[in-house]
Amino acid sequence: MTIEKQLELAMQQSIDSTSAASGGEQMRGVDKKLEAAIKADMAVYESSGKRGHNLQEAYRYLLTVPPTSVEAERAFSAAGVALH
């Protein structure tokens, strides 16, 4: 298992155990805080055109997403050629 998968699994287990232990109340509080932070960042962006911390982080992460799946398709194609 890759480190990325292990991290995702650990985070999901932590969320599940926290949610179960608190009846989900704690996660709803986190969701509301996140929603409030996003709304505040959007208000700042709409009034000044500057991104707040949360919007800047989201923008930075979105820049890492490839716009197409060409690289993945190329890898699958190469694997298919190697197996035949």
Angle subtended at Cα 59 by Cα 58 and Cα 61, rounded to the nearest 5 degrees: 65
pLDDT at 39: 83
Q: Give the pLDDT mean for 38-54.
A: 86
User: Which position has the higher pLDDT, 30 or 75?
Assistant: 75
CA 7 from chain center: how many Å?
13
Compute the average pLDDT of residues 70-79: 75
DSSP string, 12-57: HHHHHHHHHHTTTHHHHHHHHHHHHHHHHHHHHHHHHS---HHHHH
Average pLDDT score, the chain: 74
48: confidence class by pLDDT, cuts 50, 70, 90: very high
The pTM assigned to this predicted structure is 0.41
Q: What is the pLDDT of residues 17-44, one digit of tens each?
A: 666 555 556 556 667 787 788 788 888 8
